[in-house]
Amino acid sequence: MLYAILKKEFLLVRRDIHALMVLFVMPVAFILIMSLSLQDTFQKNETDLPAVGFFLENTADKETPVVQLLSELSGFQLIAYENKNPEDVVIADKLVAAIQIPREFVNSLSGAAMAKEPVLLQVYYAPTTPESIRKILFTAINLKLAVYKAEMIVNAKPVEKNNSEKNLKIASWVQENELYSQQARQPSSVEQTVPAWLIFSMFFVVIPISTTFLIEKQHGTLQRLRTMPVPSVYFLIGKLIPYLCINVIQTLLMFMVGIFLLPMLGGQALHLSDNAILLLPMSLAVSVAAISFALLIATLVRTTEQATTIGGVSNLIFAAIGGVMVPTFVMPEVMQNLARFSPMNWGLEGYLTIILRQGNLADIMPEVAKLAVFAMVLFSLSIWFYRRTKIT
């Protein structure tokens, strides 16, 4: 019986070309328009010199030749810190990276100690620092150290020269570290718009679900089904699964638009990491929440006008406060707090955790759990309202 209901729903969905077009064309159009339009706005800060923290354990080391050389790194805005933990400051001050110069590093490069294995200079990258900036910074540091090395070799005594050349492998002086945090840099336009408008379009299923439900009610098919031995829950599951599949296809399509189509049109490309597989559980969570919300609206309203108005306006409110239309990072604190009440924001934060923060399954679990609870409550209410639907 459930198979027959699902088959019927898939058939109806497949033959409703207009609704399908809206569900797929609308988010593609939004992603293209918004990504390309907002590209410069989102990139504004990126054109400024990237800020790099410069951490000295001892201020007296400022005068040493190696520190002086490193403090002249070009292409970066160096901000000096003293007696602070780089791991804390990078995230808090939105730095792309931090260079920590240990006391032993400076000492190991002076005089007789040069023969020893040098203590490493530490570089900490923010989790969201693009690979290109990491490479530029790493190369710039190594260039400065290469200059220092060259000067040391030139100035070294003949006896020491041999040892110095053996030990001074520049790259080995630098240790790169990755910082992890729930806080991250601002997303780029494509990183913001692809998940944001994907979520919006997933929630947009409220329109086709509620209108088909009402058509079934008005045409008497619902009445007919309710005089047949069909459990209510089958009827609603029959609506849920086809749209779950549609939402998964939407996810694949929208991310492909971000990865392949946008760069072809001159926009930024969306880059995904090894954790991209997590987009699937995240999308399923957003999808069941969106469909459950749609089913609740469908069982509550009485006319298609009510469905399109209530469903559409609710979606716009969820989107407006949830960071879909206006990114949360440009919102004042009050609005950022309000955003936490929007299921679209839970979905968006989950996607950004995957895309920007390279989060793992545990990192997205809070958002997945919130969406799952939201879906369960709304789906249960839908069943209750469906059973109470009066047939006139």
Partner 1 sequence: MISIHDLTYAYPSASPLIQNFDLHVRKGCLYGLLGPNGAGKTTLISLISGLNKPQSGDVLIDGKSYTANQNSIFQRMSVVPQEYAFYGQMTAYENLDFFSRMYPGIKSVTNAIQLAIQLTGLENYQHRLSKQFSGGLKRRLNLAIGLLNNPDLLILDEPTTGIDPQSRHFILQAIKDLNTQGTTVLYTSHYMEEVEQLCDDIAIMDHGKILVSGTLDSLLHSDSVVKCALACTKEVLMQHPALVNFMKTHSLAFEDNCLEGLLEASSDFYILMELLQQYNIPIESVHYGRQSLESLFFQLTHRSLRDPD
Between 11 and 361, CB nearer to partner 1: 11
Between 228 and 334, CB nearer to partner 1: 228
- The distance of closest approach from Cβ of residue 227 to partner 1 in the complex, given in angstroms and rounded to an integer, is 4
Between 238 and 359, CB nearer to partner 1: 238
- The distance of closest approach from Cβ of residue 182 to partner 1 in the complex, given in angstroms and rounded to an integer, is 47
In sequence order, what DSSP letters do the residues of 81-126 get, joined into one string? EES--HHHHHHHTT-SEEEEE-HHHHHHTSGGGGGSPPPPEEEEE-
Cα three-residue angle 242-271-359, rounded to 5 degrees: 75
Let me know how long the chain is.
Answer: 392
- The distance of closest approach from Cβ of residue 20 to partner 1 in the complex, given in angstroms and rounded to an integer, is 12
Between 23 and 126, CB nearer to partner 1: 23
- The distance of closest approach from Cβ of residue 212 to partner 1 in the complex, given in angstroms and rounded to an integer, is 10
Between 103 and 387, CB nearer to partner 1: 387
Hey, which residues does 81 pair with through a beta bridge?
Answer: 55
Contact by Cβ (8 Å): 279, 259: no
Distance CA(363)–CA(341), nearest Å, equals 19
Between 215 and 376, CB nearer to partner 1: 215
> First-to-last CA distance in the chain?
26
Local structure of 177: helix, strand or coil: strand
Q: Is 258 exposed, middle or buried (0-12, 13-18, 19+ CB in 10 A)?
A: buried
* Tokens representing residue 10 in the block: 């898939």
Hey, which residues does 98 pair with through a beta bridge?
Answer: 53, 124
- The distance of closest approach from Cβ of residue 288 to partner 1 in the complex, given in angstroms and rounded to an integer, is 25
* Tokens representing residue 204 in the block: 């947009």
- The distance of closest approach from Cβ of residue 236 to partner 1 in the complex, given in angstroms and rounded to an integer, is 15
| Residue linked to tokens 């990865």 | 259
* Tokens representing residue 45 in the block: 């800060």
- The distance of closest approach from Cβ of residue 248 to partner 1 in the complex, given in angstroms and rounded to an integer, is 23
- The distance of closest approach from Cβ of residue 5 to partner 1 in the complex, given in angstroms and rounded to an integer, is 8
Do the strands 97-101 and 121-125 form a parallel or antiparallel pair, or are they unpaired?
Answer: antiparallel
**DSSP state for residue 52 in the 8-state scheme:** E
Q: Which of 326, 97, 71, 69 is nearest to 197 (CA)?
A: 326
Distance CA(199)–CA(289), nearest Å, equals 10
Between 136 and 241, CB nearer to partner 1: 241
Between 74 and 227, CB nearer to partner 1: 227
- The distance of closest approach from Cβ of residue 389 to partner 1 in the complex, given in angstroms and rounded to an integer, is 9
Q: Which residues bind partner 1 (CB under 8 A)?
A: 1, 3-5, 7-8, 11-12, 15-16, 218-221, 223-230, 390-392
Between 74 and 392, CB nearer to partner 1: 392
Instruction: Give Cβ neighbours of residue 259 (< 8 Å, ≥ 6 apart).
Output: 269, 270, 271, 272
Q: Is 25 exposed, middle or buried (0-12, 13-18, 19+ CB in 10 A)?
A: exposed
